[in-house]
Structure 1
Amino acid sequence: MRVVLKFALLLSLWCTVRCCDDVLEDHLATKSPYRFVGNRNHSRLSFAGCEPSKAWMLIRHGTRYPSDDYVSAMQSRLPVMREIILSKENGIFRSDRDSLRKWKLDFGEEDAKKLTAEGANEMVEIAERMQSRLPEIFSHIYSNTSYNFKFTSTQRTKASAYYFAKGLFGKPTAKDVHFPEPLKQDPILRFYKLCNKWRKEVKHNPKAVKEATTFKAGPMVKKELTRIAKKLGVHEKNLSFDDAHYMYMTCAFETAWSRKKKSPWCAPFDVNSAKVFEYAEDLKYYWVDGYGHDITYKQACPAFGDMLGHLGDTTSPYPKATLYFTHSGTLLKMLSHLGLYRDERPLRHDNYDEHRLWRSSRIDAFATNIAFVSYKCGNEISLLALHQEHVVRLPSCPDSDLCPLSKVRSYYEESLNSCSFDDMCNNTNSNN
């Protein structure tokens, strides 16, 4: 209970003036821009009697373009919806109508899931801030001994790694950084792709997301669809959940892509409707990538063990920084493995009104990152944990920012000693 309350306090501390005004843009789920959640403070991280030694970071790629199926939907359904909306005289405000009339996609399916310019900026800025906070670890001088970069076999993570390097070393040096060839199926960066049990029982099992499915078909969503239809001046029968969801996701993507330009597709929504659509997303990610099923977060033990192996190795001071660029699914499973943002009651279709820690808009925005930093405190090694560049306290040390490595190992003993990945994932005798 005490840990849960501390995490609730942490979330409240994150709340900037803009956030506390509770605007629509704070409820865009996993497509939220990092600038809404990241810690922009460049202050040095220092603790009396302790010296920073190494860092290990798990970083979601920066803001990207939608997947090809979403691009296709945006090309086919949104123009139809636009014409319906513009044909109604008593719909959205004139300024929004003008923006909607001028709206067009300036990218195609060939750009699907690629990193955007804003995604590149996110990586550069995170790197610059980490270097300011921990100059002893994040040197501006590149050495492949000091740095270990790794990314998945996707354009968006590879590009994210490059721009992070650019933020650390500058453009000329970033071009010469050694980036190892990515694995098609990486057991650390995308372990869940190798877990048969999770893929069968959760990822590809409709029953695993029944709470989200039930919520989408329930009275809360129907009420908001009616309100949105009325705001647009269209008959509610002409507005399906899918069409409203396309508008919501386009609002989210376009908000993430641009710091200045407002998406006209945000106009149909207000804070209340955005919260409802956010909750539908939260339910999906809670049950697929979070606490909904034990196998989901237990399978993150290889990544957790990799972190402790790197930071706990006292035989060599190198590499100083291990930097892994990966995806939303990895970050959410790792957060759950750590026991962060765990609500007392599981998220369900019927407890929308309850306060929750699991909010994808804040814990899984684009460029979401988890960092662990080891400190030498006399003869003891302690760990500092950061999420979105904010200091977070681990369940192993709820009353202290720094947590002795021995306490971390003791608290997560099951993860370290029972990480038989193939057994827990039913991979035995598998050709996978």
Structure 2
Amino acid sequence: MTWFRPISLCILLPLIAAQLNYPNDNQNYNYNNNPNNYNSNYPNYNSNNSNYSSSNPNYNPNYNPNNSNYNSNNPNSPNYNPNYNSNNPNYPNNPNYNSNYNNPYNPNYNMNNPNNPNYNPNYNTNNPNNPNYYNSNNQDYNRNNQDYNRNNQDYNRNNQDYNRNNQDYNRNNQDYNRNNPGNSNLNYNNPSFVSQPLDQSDCCEEYCYSQDPEPYLYFGTKTAYDSISRRGGNQHVIPDCTPVQFWSIIRHGTRLPDVDTIRSMRNMNRIHAEITRNYEQRKSFPDRGRLCPQDYDLFRKWHFNESINEGLANTLTRQGVEDLKLLARRYKTKYPDLLQNYDERTHYFQYSTDDRTHDSFQAYIEGLFEQDAFRVHANMINGERLTNPFQNCPRWQQDENARYYRQSESQRFKEKSDYQKLVRDVFRRLGFRFSLNSTVIDDMYELCAYEKAFNPQPKSAWCIAFNKEQLKIMEYIEDLKYFNEYGYGNPLAEKIGCSSLKDMYERFERTVNGNSDGNKAAFIFGDTASFLSTLSAIGANKDYSPLNAENYYQQSRRTWRTSTMSPFSANLVASLYQCNRGEKYRVMFFLNEIPVEFPDCSVGLCNWSTIQQKYQDLVRSCNAESMCNGRGSAASYYAEIAVLFVTLLFALKM
């Protein structure tokens, strides 16, 4: 067996060397990332290191949750305010941050106290002088405040660690740019921004958006909740059954666009000017398919709303606040015994760290509990595994091949003749003699969708560019994107989305087994990713054939439609019923207040035994933490080294 020894050494020594070198990389954070882009050269950047990158000159050790200077239990810390410490034994008597204890009229937290000198009335949702947002002017909660500033280096979109100028996440990248003046391929004012000339005779379908009594209102994930909600009637009333537990996951309400989309929207002033010149000076509109007089008049009067600025990017709008308040009130009416009065022991709330989800939570609890909303406490023990699972999943972020695949189907569809015809017809309809870059189509669609979401009732000036069939094509592109990112087109989505399913299942299971801790209702506030992955985990809206770039017409009656699944303020509710006849416990699912159809359930009502059969295996195997981190814990890492050493010694003895 002497031949085995050198072969074994050749195989095992590189493996051991790789393992021994591994601690210098960050085991739990970004071990595949380019060291030039993400600080993997700092040996102390490991999330298990007590100093958390003390050798990194760009990282502040005082922000380390393992550092004594930032320890919430360290009374000697000069950097930590004991009045803000929920673990401080003096907290029950702390009037400055007491929303849940014995101070019923906390002047620093009272939204309705006019005598409160510390409260900015612009934060008050009942203040008639605040037409748009929660507190855009309050210094203590201001996005322009250095302590909470998106321009602050620690929270900076221009910071390399969170940089939209980074090639991997760059809207200034040639393939993802609408605003970069140096990009000759995508700049509105550059001659190369146009492509082939267009036939100016007959154009396309005659359609007058302004005169349509039933315009198309489905815009994917930017759909207004009012556009799809049908309220569901009394289907929550189950004969001989009483609701005993309520669980819900809720997507944030209508929000403003992100920074780059706002800039793209403002940039559309130039396209608007070109279109008006096409119609008033150049007279280059087509003979057939031109804008009707009513549509052109609506479009001519449009101007960009300058109150939508980068400082308010991603914040909840007034429409978003109202939608969530009304949604909460409707559910309270349907389930008064479970949702009427707040009790910290029986009501559980959780939201992600994004402002839009926090403000959605705030609006929802105001709808549920009105003047008692200030008493509501949100539990953040589980971090963001439920509310923002993909952002905290290294495997998801690092899987470049999967990312390419997720984007490829919607891109392939854009190469099809249906989409290419859409591009030509839209530009001809607007009077262009040449077809501009298709990113302009995307910008028009974004403006159309957002303006309808901000104000569902009025007509949107930019929707005049599209007829109904063209809007359906644009909707399908978004459906393809999300199907392959957070839906059934991506095997990881179900595995990551199982966390919220597990939360619901285990809460109901304790009640069914008689081990309930008294919990009546649980609410989780998240984003599109967490919401759609949860729907994938429970098996909702699953079509017989998967969506792809080739079967657009066959999918005209698809159930995977993001407009109806995940509009702004989308909500999934599971309600556990105790029944006097038949099986004792049953579960009813509602998606946006409409019963969810499952093949083995009756109009959304499932026996508990069916729920067990459908989800028990997935729940028991659900371990998003292990799946996301890939290599597992530090213990398993050192176990791997031990196995390699034992194998090496065995080989040497042979």
Q: TM-score, structure 2 length as denominator?
A: 0.59
What SS is found at the alignment partner of 1:63? coil
Answer yes or no: is 1:352 the counterpart of 2:552: yes
Answer yes or no: is 1:152 the counterpart of 2:152: no
Contact kept in structure 1, 2:222 and 2:450, CA below 8 Å: yes
2:584 corresponds to: 380
Greater CA deviation, 49-58 or 307-316?
307-316
1:279 corresponds to: 476
Q: Distance in 2 between matches of 1:132 and 1:180?
A: 25
What SS is found at the alignment partner of 2:504? helix
Contact kept in structure 1, 2:235 and 2:595, CA below 8 Å: no
Contact kept in structure 1, 2:596 and 2:603, CA below 8 Å: no
Contact kept in structure 1, 2:227 and 2:456, CA below 8 Å: no
The AA in structure 2 aligned to 1:191 is: P
Deviation, 1:211, is 0.9
Pick aligned residue for 1:424 from 615, 627, 648: 627
Deviation, 1:426, is 4.5
> Structure 1 vs Structure 2: percent identity of aligned residues?
27
Q: Distance in 2 between matches of 1:121 and 1:31?
A: 16
The AA in structure 2 aligned to 1:156 is: R
CA RMSD, 1 decimal: 2.2
Answer yes or no: is 1:251 the counterpart of 2:448: yes
2:248 corresponds to: 57
Contact kept in structure 2, 1:201 and 1:208, CA below 8 Å: no
Answer yes or no: is 1:32 the counterpart of 2:223: yes
What SS is found at the alignment partner of 2:537? helix
Greater CA deviation, 308-317 or 158-167?
308-317
Answer yes or no: is 1:364 the counterpart of 2:364: no
1:191 corresponds to: 389
Deviation, 1:200, is 2.8
Contact kept in structure 1, 2:595 and 2:603, CA below 8 Å: no
Contact kept in structure 1, 2:251 and 2:525, CA below 8 Å: yes
| CA distance 1:209–1:44, shift in 2 (3 Å) | closer
Contact kept in structure 2, 1:43 and 1:132, CA below 8 Å: no
Any gaps of 5 or more consecutive residues in structure 1? 1-20
Answer yes or no: is 1:399 the counterpart of 2:602: yes
The AA in structure 1 aligned to 2:405 is: K
Q: Distance in 1 between matches of 2:397 and 2:252?
A: 22
User: 5 Å matches for 1:7-406?
Assistant: 23-41=214-232, 43=234, 45-76=236-267, 78-89=268-279, 90=285, 92-100=291-299, 101-105=301-305, 106-139=307-340, 141-170=341-370, 172-180=371-379, 186-201=384-399, 205-238=403-436, 240-314=437-511, 315-316=515-516, 318-355=518-555, 356-378=558-580, 380-395=584-599, 397-399=600-602, 401-406=604-609
Any idea what the Cα deviations from partners look like across 1:202-232, whole Å, max 9, x if unmatched? 7972232211111112211110011111111
Deviation, 1:278, is 0.7
RCO comparison, higher one (Cα < 8 Å, 6+): 1
- Give the number of the structure whose residues are more often helix, by fraction: 1
Any idea what the Cα deviations from partners look like across 1:136-166, whole Å, max 9, x if unmatched? 2111x22222321111101111111111111
Contact kept in structure 2, 1:338 and 1:394, CA below 8 Å: no
| CA distance 1:33–1:215, shift in 2 (3 Å) | same
1:12 corresponds to: none
| CA distance 1:237–1:400, shift in 2 (3 Å) | closer
Any idea what the Cα deviations from partners look like across 1:243-294, whole Å, max 9, x if unmatched? 1111111111110111332210111011011011111111101101101121
Q: Distance in 2 between matches of 1:182 and 1:31?
A: 31
**Quick check: which has more Rg, 1 or 2?**
2
Q: Distance in 1 between matches of 2:213 and 2:249?
A: 29
**Number of aligned positions between the proteins:** 405
Deviation, 1:299, is 1.8
The AA in structure 2 aligned to 1:362 is: T
The AA in structure 1 aligned to 2:330 is: R
Q: Distance in 1 between matches of 2:510 and 2:235?
A: 24
2:157 corresponds to: none
Any idea what the Cα deviations from partners look like across 1:141-198, whole Å, max 9, x if unmatched? 222223211111011111111111111122x222332234587x51111222233333
Q: Distance in 2 between matches of 1:142 and 1:159?
A: 19
Contact kept in structure 1, 2:250 and 2:523, CA below 8 Å: yes
Contact kept in structure 2, 1:22 and 1:271, CA below 8 Å: no
1:7 corresponds to: none
Greater CA deviation, 414-423 or 220-229?
414-423
Q: TM-score, structure 1 length as denominator?
A: 0.88
| CA distance 1:44–1:359, shift in 2 (3 Å) | closer
What SS is found at the alignment partner of 2:551? coil
What SS is found at the alignment partner of 2:368? helix
Q: Distance in 1 between matches of 2:460 and 2:501?
A: 39
| CA distance 1:203–1:27, shift in 2 (3 Å) | farther
Deviation, 1:370, is 0.5
Contact kept in structure 1, 2:221 and 2:567, CA below 8 Å: yes
Q: Distance in 1 between matches of 2:587 and 2:429?
A: 51
The AA in structure 2 aligned to 1:244 is: I
The AA in structure 2 aligned to 1:352 is: Y
Q: Distance in 2 between matches of 1:41 and 1:333?
A: 24
The AA in structure 2 aligned to 1:334 is: T
Deviation, 1:42, is 5.8
Deviation, 1:421, is 2.3
What SS is found at the alignment partner of 2:409? helix
Q: Distance in 2 between matches of 1:338 and 1:250?
A: 33
Greater CA deviation, 24-33 or 269-278?
24-33
